[in-house]
Amino acid sequence: MRGSPLVPFDAGQQSLTRVDYVAVQRHWRMPANLSSLGGRFVDWIETVLGRAEFDRVPWLAVAFAAGIGSWFLLKTANTWIALIALLLSVAVLAALLWRGREGRARTRLAVLSLAVVFCAGVATVWIRSEVVGADPIERPSVETLNGFVLERVDQPALDRFRLVLATRFGADQEARKVRVNIPLAKDQEGLREGAVVRLRARLMPPGPPVLPGGYDFARAAWFGGLAATGSLIGEISIIEAPKTAGTISQWQRQLSAHVRSQIDGNGGAIAAAFASGDRGAITDADRDAMRDAGLTHLLAISGLHVGAVIAAAYLIALKSLALFPYLTLRFRLPIVAAAVGACAGIGYTVLTGMQVPTVRSCAAAMLVLLALALGREPLSLRMVAFAAIFVMVLWPEAVIGPSFQMSFAAVLAIVSLHSSAPIKAFLAAREESWLARLVRRVVMLFTTGLVIELALMPIVLYHFHRAGLYGAAANVLAIPLVTLVSMPLIALGLVFDLVGLGRPFWWLAEHSLDALLGLAHWVSSQPGAVKLFPHMGLASILLFVGGGLWLALWSSRLRLPGLLPVCVASLSLAWTCHPDILITRDGRQVGITTDDSRLISLRAPRSSFAQDSLIELAGVEATPIAMTEWSAANCSDEFCVISITRDSRQWSALLTRNRVRVEERALAAACERVDIVVADRVLPRSCRPLWLKADKRMLDQTGGLSIYLAESRIVSVADNQGEHGW
């Protein structure tokens, strides 16, 4: 048949008809269409990114953070290398396959840059760990130390101060950095940075989490370069006095002491935190009240405080310089005022100790000042991304900490909310009365507080296992009080103290801070103000974070799919069950939860930290009940036997109460009759319970345990440690 695809076409024959040409065209395009499905998908992505006005910079910050987080999540060096190799391969393929295709430039650059930056995140934290990590001491010991004081941290609320020393000790005389707690009664003149001291201390290696999901002090000490922590034994003597007349840390302590001397009571400790970043004088009761009221962020020098200082310096400089026509006609006053604000912000950041939230806030503020000086939009997602990358490059380990996560989550929520079209329309200028304008501002303040609370709640639940339910309402009153009243009064008090006229301002500041503390204590004491939750799984927090970032970083309807992982994570959180048995790494503290949300404790904890860890990770709010007082437990001087019923099955546990040796045959017989045995010592091999023997031999390998009886599942601290240095 003429023109048929099955018969070769002779060039000498007549030209193809339209029907024949279409048949040939369809035939030869069919394989190309099948092979170009991936290309069509890429073209669709390119179209979507173009319509959504895709901005790579915020997502580059996310990729960098994801790389850092992956290094902590993966356990071995081989997996880190494999991850870097895989992503670099993806980047190379993206560069080669789509090279020269102008229609896919946006997708190619996105894949290429995200893969490379992800690898950079993995490499950055790996290098940081190798450079700053310090191997801990092998075992507890008592040492006589001659050390150089690197840092002093005052904690008057705990009646002590801390010295960080560079010293040598042990058989190898290796240089190490240690931290020693010293009672305030042992303080003396010259005991500060730069001094050389001699003391005797009881040292301990930094410990891993007490329980799964608990605070990992060993990891924090590793990145802090600490090989040991301990406490003073006896006296401390100064071998060599500090050579420098004063340091920034000393100025910080002097400023803190001056502020506390001007404001009596607990308000002085809060004022010192605002002025110098020193929170060591804040009592546990006030700290807990601020936490439960959702106001803890006010105690950390962050965006609120740095922004207030820079805004005040900017406005004062701008308005003051505008009074001089000579300067107004010859200089661009916004640039000069921005420079003054930048100097004030940097000085405040250095004076308050350069903590991660402060550095993040200062970096973001510098970008805002630069935007104001250039006449650009000051608040943008790019600004947040640049500030985040700046912090992550310097302190990559901060990514997995609550301070970094909460500060950036709050800022990201604020910027995303105020960048949305409905909010811009709601805040747009219009002809209206002052009362209507005030109502709109109050509504916006409450909405912002609510959005911040929603953004922070998953992070707070993951790290602290509790949620304050009235934080949004409390912040509506607390933030204006601190920003517009307390901090300006403290600043005026410090300025007028130079001429001896600051007392009226300190008096007013004291009453404003008393009002703040009164609000915190009242809110935290209300029924249902705090809700404790069991430890949230890693999958749930990743879904929350991923969905939240998707909602925040897109500016079109593409943000709506971010609601799906948030909803899934919320449902998983609602179904999260508390562990039935909690066992600390030393085997001494055992907590058993009941069906009515009570906690049965084997021993009275030696410290409030151990008790708080048991309560928080169990997700119960009531004070623990001693096992000897529990009706389902049968206790002797040596053991407690307790019965636990879960899902119609009865479990029995044998728990040792002391280290008194018992006859091995009797112990073996007792072990055979129970499902679980827990001991703080090594038990003989003849002790064979029906399911689990958690003695010292096992706990030394696993660390603390969380046991879920209904699922017959055991979660250990060692599950998440891997080959990291700590």
> What pLDDT is recorded for position 16?
44
- Helix 266-276 × helix 248-262 angle, to 10°: 150
Euclidean distance between CA atoms 303 and 355, whole angstroms: 12
Backbone dihedral region for residue 465 (phi beyond 0: left; psi -120 to 50: alpha; all else: beta): left
Residue 553 neighbours by CB under 8 Å, 6+ apart: 55, 58, 59, 62, 381, 416, 559
CA distances (Å), origin 319, targets 491, 666, 720: 18, 86, 56
Mean pLDDT for the stretch of residues 144-170: 87
pLDDT at 609 over 80: no
Domain range 141-246, CATH architecture:
Beta Barrel (2.40)
Cite the beta strand spans of 402-550 per DSSP E: 466-468, 530-532
Secondary structure, 3-state, 644-682: EEECCEEEEEEEECCCCCCCHHHHHHHHHCCCEEECCCC
Cite the beta strand spans of 428-472 per DSSP E: 466-468
714: enclosing H helix or E strand: strand 713-716
> What pLDDT is recorded for position 100?
52
pLDDT at 25 over 60: no
pLDDT at 14 over 50: no
Q: Structural domain boundaries of the chain?
A: 37-132, 141-246, 538-574, 581-720
Read off the pLDDT band of 508 (50, 70, 90).
very high
pLDDT at 49 over 90: no
> What pLDDT is recorded for position 245?
64
- Helix 333-351 × helix 356-374 angle, to 10°: 180
Residue 254 neighbours by CB under 8 Å, 6+ apart: none
pLDDT in tens, 196-207: 999 999 999 988
**Which residue, among 148, 434, 456, has the nearest Cα to 297 in the 3D structure?**
456
For 166, the token pair is 């560079």
Tabulate helix, strand, coil % of the chain (nearest 5).
55, 15, 30
> What pLDDT is recorded for position 81?
92
**Which residue, among 304, 388, 407, 381, has the nearest Cα to 552 in the 3D structure?**
381
Mean pLDDT for the stretch of residues 631-659: 85
Q: Is 163 exposed, middle or buried (0-12, 13-18, 19+ CB in 10 A)?
A: buried
> What pLDDT is recorded for position 179?
93
The β-bridge relationship of strands 692-694 and 676-678 is parallel
641: enclosing H helix or E strand: strand 639-646
Q: Is 313 exposed, middle or buried (0-12, 13-18, 19+ CB in 10 A)?
A: buried
> What pLDDT is recorded for position 413?
87
Mean pLDDT for the stretch of residues 453-457: 84
Euclidean distance between CA atoms 276 and 282, whole angstroms: 13
Euclidean distance between CA atoms 77 and 64, whole angstroms: 19
Helix (H, G, I), strand (E, B) or coil at 136: coil
Number of Cβ within 10 Å of residue 231's Cβ equals: 15
**DSSP letter (8 states) at residue 433:** -
> What pLDDT is recorded for position 572?
85
> What pLDDT is recorded for position 469?
73
Instruction: For Cα atoms 316, 318, 324, give the angle at the middle one, nearest 5 degrees.
Output: 110
More confident residue, 548 or 647: 548
pLDDT at 27 over 50: no
What integer best gives the mean pLDDT of the chain?
81
pLDDT at 299 over 90: no
Q: Is 175 exposed, middle or buried (0-12, 13-18, 19+ CB in 10 A)?
A: exposed
Most confident of 290-294, 488-492, 657-661: 488-492
Euclidean distance between CA atoms 207 and 92, whole angstroms: 42
> What pLDDT is recorded for position 676?
92
**DSSP letter (8 states) at residue 579:** P
Most confident of 131-135, 243-247, 304-308, 418-422: 131-135
Euclidean distance between CA atoms 387 and 7, whole angstroms: 67
Helix (H, G, I), strand (E, B) or coil at 711: coil
Mean pLDDT for the stretch of residues 441-449: 81
> What pLDDT is recorded for position 65?
93
> What pLDDT is recorded for position 1?
40
Q: What percent of the chain has pLDDT over 90?
A: 13
Residue 374, CB half-sphere, CA atoms under 13 Å: how many? 9
Mean pLDDT for the stretch of residues 303-313: 76
pLDDT in tens, 374-417: 766 666 788 888 888 988 998 899 898 888 888 788 888 888 88
pLDDT at 9 over 50: no
Residue 115 neighbours by CB under 8 Å, 6+ apart: 63, 87, 88, 90, 91, 94
Based on C-alpha coordinates, what's the Rg of the chain? 31
> What pLDDT is recorded for position 24?
42
